Structures are given as C-alpha cells and as structure tokens.
Homo-oligomer: A and B are copies of this chain.
Amino acid sequence: MERAERRAHLLRCALEVFAEKGYHAASISDIISRAKVARGTFYLYFESKRTVFEQLLDEVIAAIQAKVRRIDPSRGTEGVLAQLEANVYGVFETLLAARSTARLLVSQAVGLDPAFDQKLLEFFTRLLELLERSLATGQQMHLVLPMDRRVASMAILGSIKEILYHVAVGTELPPGPAMVAELLRFHVRALFVPSIAELVQARGARGTR
C-alpha cells in the first residue's frame, strides 16, 4: 500500500513536470525534487524516464477509452444523439478536469520518438475505428448522411483535438459545457440528415461570436 502510494505520488509529480516543461526539458531532477524523493528511489519505481512517460500516456489513454462507448443503435434517434453527446462530453470532462493530462496528450506526446508516435497513432486509430463504426451504424439507420466515413471520423477527431489543444494552451473559449454543446452542433450539422440536424440546431442556444 505504502508502495502504491509512493508510485502514484511520483506519477503525479512526473505528470505535472512533463506538462509544464515538456518531455525533453523535464529532467529526473525536476521530478524527484518535486516529489521530495531521492534519485535512486525514482528508479525503484520506474525503469526510466521514458517508462514513466509511457505509463502516464497509457493512463490518459485508458481514461479516455473508458469514457468512449460504442454507440448502441437500438435506442432510437434520440438515444443515438444522447450517446454521441455522452461520448464527447466524457472525453472533454476527463481532460478539462486535468489540464496537465490534456496537455500531455495533445502537445507533449507527439513527435517524441517513433515508439511514442506509434502508441499515439494506435490509440487514435482505435478512436477513429470506433467513430467509423458509429458512423456506419448511423448510416444504416439513415440518420447519418452518406460520406467517406474515414475522412469524416478524422475531421471529428481533429476538431476535438484542436479544441483540447487550445484549452491546454489557454486560448479564450466559451465555458466548458457551452463549448462542448457548440462543438456537438457542429458535428451534428456535418453528419446528420437535415431533419435531425435542424432538430438539434433548433434546440441549441445560438452563439453569436
């Protein structure tokens, strides 16, 4: 128990340091001095700097995957919309709650080295596949328009990542829920048949920025 706690403490400190300074600029010294732990102790819990980062990345990925569910078409139009909403909300909630985590994912983990890139790519590919399947389902239900599902999935994922990036760097944006609602309306218009799109559009507050 003692051991698990210390490990968690180290992970948290590492996360903060990585988020603040970036992977390379972050040094083991930064991490251990924040954790108030000796140098050797760090290596009792983690094999290497790379390893900690990898585990942090794994955690973020797991947290997000836990929030994203395959859309179940059996609950009707409203149900599908609600599930879509829940997915996007879940991801944002997870990452908005911990800006460090978001920053790690969208602005630190990219381009570090081929192995990290590979891991990230796999993760995003899994998300894309999930999205593609959901779009296929939506198309079968005639809720989603005909379109290239891969391109559309990437567009959706990219729009989410970009907003997270701006959240991470502190760009001024509408408050969390309003922003998510706005983004969802964007997606709905881009994806759904006009009848649904109009329904959702009508429901929303109109932004005027």
Contacts and interface: CB of A to CB of B under 8 A. Distances in A.
A132 interface: yes
Interface residues of A, number: 61
Given A108-B111, A145-B201, 5 more contacts: A21-B113, A22-B114, A147-B185, A147-B206, A161-B161
Interface of A: 21-25, 103, 107-114, 117, 121, 125, 132, 145-152, 154-163, 165-166, 169, 171-174, 178-179, 182-183, 185-187, 189-191, 194, 197-198, 201, 206-209
Query: How many copies make up the complex?
Result: 4
Contacts of A169: 117, 121
A209 B158 contact: no
Contact of A207 (B147, B158, B206): B147
B148 A158 contact: no
